[in-house]
Structure 1
Amino acid sequence: MRHQQAIQRKVERTTTKFTGTVTCKGGSSRGIVKDLSEVGICFQLYFDINARIGQDVSIESNEFGHLTGAVQWYRGDRIGIRLDPSSNTSAQISSYFKYFR
């Protein structure tokens, strides 16, 4: 049996557990933000929205407001979202870490 190598991440992730809504061309679903970093989100969907890699998405949450990004990966009921790099995105994520963590 081969040992799985640990994935070395460029940006540290913070485990979270708050709700939000993801919307893409395929539909919209509420769900749970499982982890968060300055560049991405792992989102567990309540309902399948037929998200595909590279597809644009928007994310709404009381904790950080409105963010946009693209689907980086999907596995079962979870999708990884690469956030659009902007000063607004950075400010919203920084605000979350300052006030909600």
Structure 2
Amino acid sequence: MAKNLGMEVRKAPRSRCRIASKVRYFQQEAAGRIIDISRTGLAIELSTGLNAGAGSTVAIETDEIGLLEGIVRWNYSGRLGIMFRPNSNAAAKVDAYFRNFHREYRPVLAR
């Protein structure tokens, strides 16, 4: 059995982080924190539920990176996987984040 269960996976290397953020989907807003990030997407852990399914467009706002737009790839157990929109300036913002702010974090507790 394949580890990725036949799903398309992120090709860019991931870096663990802890970035406070807000996710907006239409009129819904949820607080959370980005738990890993790459140049093509991110994973975010939400403190409340968000009814965004795969393929939905969301906006992520953080103090360190700014406003990012992306497409939900998966929504599972209070976490979202988000792929950045290819036509956005997200790649430039993420590159600036890695140059100026990024610190690698290791999880304290296993989930």
Q: TM-score, normalised by structure 2?
A: 0.81
Q: 1:37 corresponds to which residue?
A: 38
Q: Which sections of structure 2, spanning at least 5 residues, go unmatched?
A: 103-111
Letter in 2 for 1:70: I
Cα 1:23–1:87 change in 2 (3 A) is: closer
Cα 1:23–1:60 change in 2 (3 A) is: same
Cα 1:46–1:85 change in 2 (3 A) is: same
Q: 2:3 corresponds to which residue?
A: 5
Q: TM-score, normalised by structure 1?
A: 0.88
C-alpha distance in 2, partners of 1:58/1:89? 11
Q: Which sections of structure 1, spanning at least 5 residues, go unmatched?
A: none
Deviations 1:4-23 (A, max 9, x none): 63797511000001100000
Deviations 1:66-88 (A, max 9, x none): 01011000111000011112462
Q: Aligned residues, how many?
A: 99
Q: 1:61 corresponds to which residue?
A: 62
Give 1:63 deviation, angstroms. 1.0
Q: What does 1:1-101 correspond to in 2, within 5 Å?
A: 5=3, 9-25=10-26, 27-86=28-87, 88-101=89-102
Letter in 1 for 2:63: N
Runs ≥4 in structure 1, deviation > 4 angstroms? 6-9
Residue 53 of structure 1 aligns to a residue whose secondary structure is coil
Give 1:26 deviation, angstroms. 5.9
More strand by share: 1
C-alpha distance in 2, partners of 1:59/1:65? 8
Q: Does the aligned pair in 2 maintain the 1:26–1:51 contact within 8 Å?
A: no
